[in-house]
A = this chain, B = another copy of it.
């Protein structure tokens, strides 16, 4: 946050090769165009007329993604690798497929290698063979959830081993599909490769089902995740309203950011309490969750609670350190609430029925829905274009509805949160009519 914004993109060197893709270089001829390196997008678009901005600094502008007329690599010399890391997310296969198809059909690259099971697949102590990729292999993979390459967490501390593997395979292009930890490691890997004077384009496609990466308008798979979470909340509502003092409790993903919970709440009428990591809440006390829940049951006879896994950690955090991806261990707020609410109802002599649903794995593993498929196709395609133009240490991002190049270090420098003062959260409050604050004091 203290760091200044600088959206300047690094390149491996000058582009001296003509792209094999035939496009127009003129605007106005009704033909699709190459993208030029001086086409930019504004990031910050809010304005007050009373305080008009005077000028943009170059570093505030985001470079447009897309095919360049001149590229860095001779396609015949390219050996590209694709790796998927971290937890599953809808759309992984769509991204893989788009990268492969764009490299193969548009640039005629013929050496594309899938790294198995995340960064682990680079390591010498791991025996699984790499996966040759071509259009036949990826033809139908978008109809399946998960990733055909497999995934794993961690190994960000094995950068030298990974760089050795890159050298051994003569890779000059690496596509890393993963989240915060993955992209931090990809940055470290790129720097190690530079130290070794290797010209390797490292291009990331940001993946976070929680939608919590900075400068990224919407992460792929997020809409599909919300659509599946909606099904779980519908079930919880049916269970709740079919029982005397029925309580439906659903836990969804959202370690540090409650975007899935917030959007799910807006998509469906039936959430009465939406709990997210960004908004503290008390369980006890007159303005706590239990008191409000009791009132709701008295008035309406049933209630639905949607909780993001990272919410209410003050009650369950055990300070247990981090997992292999570098994420801190979360206490299980869903099971904790289930137990606390059940106990509360007993102590209040309230005959109640609580049904707890955790649909997380069913959400993560679902295939991308069409709108996410479109998005993944375009992310992957733009990643291929960026790498062919010798651009590196960047992520493909959608900003203000334009595909842009985003320096990797900018994206990993901080998280994206649900702003309690945003229009999004305000709309959640309107739909749930839950108290703006559920804390005592």
Chain A positions near chain B (C-beta within 8 angstroms): 22-24, 27-33, 35, 38-42, 45-50, 52-56, 58, 61, 66-67, 88, 97, 102, 105-106, 117, 120, 128, 139-140, 142-147, 150-152, 217, 223, 226-227, 230-232, 234-236, 238-239, 241-244, 263-264, 266-269, 279, 355-359, 361-362, 364-366, 369-371, 373-374, 377-378, 381, 400-403, 420-423, 425-427, 429-431, 433, 436-437
Contact = CB atoms under 8 A, between A and B. Distances in A.
B267 A374 contact: yes
Contact of A66 (B22, B50, B243, B423): B423
Contact of A54 (B24, B54, B142): B54
Contacts of A234: 145, 365
Given A266-B377, A269-B139, A361-B355, A61 B38 contact: no
Contact of A239 (B31, B146, B243, B420): B146
Contact of A45 (B41, B151, B227, B238): B41
A23 B437 CA distance: 11
A438 B267 CA distance: 42
Contacts of A366: 235
B32 A41 contact: no
Contacts of A269: 97, 139, 142
Nearest to A279: B30
A46 B22 CA distance: 24
Contacts of A426: 23, 32-33, 66-67
A292 B440 CA distance: 54
A238 B145 contact: yes
Report copies per complex.
4
Contacts of A244: 117, 120, 128, 150, 152
B401 A266 contact: no
A59 B297 CA distance: 50
Given A42-B47, A144-B238, A146-B239, 6 more contacts: A30-B420, A45-B45, A46-B402, A49-B61, A226-B374, A267-B371
A217 B88 contact: no
Nearest to A143: B143
Nearest to A398: B401
Contacts of A49: 38, 40, 56, 58, 61
17 contacts: A35-B423, A53-B55, A102-B430, A120-B244, A142-B269, A145-B238, A146-B239, A151-B242, A152-B243, A227-B370, A235-B364, A235-B366, A239-B364, A263-B371, A268-B370, A377-B431, A381-B427
